[in-house]
Amino acid sequence: MNSKRVQILSVGSSVPEAVLTNKDIESFLDTSDEWITVRTGIKQRHIIPKGEDISAADLGTQAASQALKKADIEPQDVDGIVCATFTPDYFFPSTACRIQAALGCKGGFAFDISAACAGFVYALTVANNMILCGQAKTMIVVGSEIISKTLDWTDRNSCILFGDGAGAVVLQAKDDLSKGIMASHIESDGNLGDILKLPAWGDKRFMQMRGNEVFKHAVRLMSDTSARVIKQTGIGINDIDLLIPHQANIRIIRAVADSLGFPMEKIIVNLDEYGNTSSASIPIALNEAWDDGLIKEGAKVLFTCLGGGVTVGSALVYF
């Protein structure tokens, strides 16, 4: 039995300034603000303008630096960085290594995780386990994505959904068992790899998605893994103060809420402003909730997400 638990000490986020609204998209694609709003809940997304040289490492560094400042922790005290991204700057060095250098960390390890939109909970789970095993005391988990560069901007099924952004949390081991990451569960089904993919080679190097199928699996798997971590901790659904789901589609979020019997009033939704930022969506939403005073002492917060792979993850954190 471990005598420590891993706490989320702070969170930071960063999105590009430039905004692309549904109305802007209407000007070059056969779609409408009304269709996008009704079918997804998205009104706009932040994206890096074409030609601007801002990378996932840049946004990730800004988010991580903000989180470190809030936790009052120096970069040289960080033992490890895990970055979840499917839009790395390079195959190598990893985005995490680039963030490590940009932050001015001395020593420690850094590596990336590829789990698409479930990347944040995957990275959180891996970092949590590394800290509990004694391999690190203080870690940063980053989710950072420049998705706009991976999209086929003539494909109205996919390009309307996504935005760029990054979020980061600082984790630390504490001797207090009453709070921290209480349970997490990650799962994949490689047989569903074809429903959402981004080829690395060939002439179709853009995101390809069978939206309807992704939708159904998202509702089922996010609900199942959420129920599983809730059960692991032994609390009831009514004891959870906030649900921060991956921000993919308001209809997916409503269906997960329905399936769990969880009220929409306790769910953080910001996809209207950012669209789907993949591994960054949960930490960006957490940062906003924190700034809004919703992450109170003792708050029980559930994260849940699904991504290409198919990958799925849920985590229950007491603050």
Residues designated catalytic: 117, 246, 276
In this chain, which stretch among 35-43, 123-131, 145-153, 174-182 interacts with ligand UT7, using CB under 6 A? 35-43
How many residues belong to the site for ligand UT7 (CB under 6 A)?
20
With contacts defined by CB under 6 A, name the span among 15-23, 174-182, 209-217, 263-271 that binds ligand UT7.
209-217
222, 230 Cβ separation under 8 angstroms: no
| 68-127: contacts with ligand UT7 (CB under 6 A) | 117
Say whether residue 206 binds ligand UT7 (CB under 6 A). Answer: no
Give the Cα separation of 160 and 275 in Å (integer): 8
Q: Which stretch binds ligand UT7 (CB under 6 A): 51-59, 154-162, 176-184, 267-275?
A: 154-162
d(C-alpha 278, C-alpha 294), whole Å: 22
Of these, 7, 62, 95, 276, which contacts ligand UT7 (CB under 6 A)?
276
Tokens read off for 272: 């209207």
Strand segments, DSSP code E, in the chain are 5-14, 19-21, 44-46, 80-84, 109-113, 138-145, 165-174, 180-188, 196-197, 208-209, 242-245, 300-307, 311-318
With binding defined as CB under 6 A, does residue 35 bind ligand UT7? yes
Residue nearest to ligand UT7 (CB): 211
Q: How far apart are CB 58 and ligand UT7 at their closest, in Å?
A: 23
Please list the residues that pair with 289 across neighbouring strands.
none
Give me the amino acid identity at 151.
L
d(CA 68, CA 99): 13
Q: What would the DSSP string read from start to end of 66-108?
A: HHHHHHT--GGG--EEEEE-SS-S-SSS-HHHHHHHHHT--SS
Exposure letters 82-112 (e unless 16+ CB within 10 A, then b)? bbbbbbbbeeeebbbbbbbebbebeebbbeb
The interface region with ligand UT7, picked from 34-42, 122-130, 164-172, 261-269 by CB under 6 A, is 34-42
Of residues 229 through 268, those in contact with ligand UT7 by CB under 6 A are 248-249
**For ligand UT7, which is the closer residue by CB, 3 or 27?**
27
Half-sphere exposure at residue 60, Cβ-oriented, CA atoms within 13 angstroms: 34
Least CB distance to ligand UT7 at residue 292 (A): 24
Residues 211-230 as x/- pattern, contact with ligand UT7 by CB under 6 A: xx-xx--x------------
CB of 294 to ligand UT7, least distance (A): 23
Q: Which is nearer to ligand UT7, 28 or 90 (CB)?
A: 28
Among residues 4, 156, 220, 266, which is the contact residue for ligand UT7, using CB under 6 A?
156
Q: What's the closest the beta carbon of residue 33 comes to ligand UT7, in angstroms?
A: 10
| Residue 21 makes contact with ligand UT7 by CB under 6 A | no
Beta bridge partners of 141: 82, 169
Q: Find out whether 278 and 116 touch, Cβ atoms under 8 Å.
A: yes
The residues of the shown chain that bind ligand UT7, judged by CB under 6 A, are 31, 35-36, 39-40, 117, 156-157, 160, 196, 209, 211-212, 214-215, 218, 248-249, 276, 307
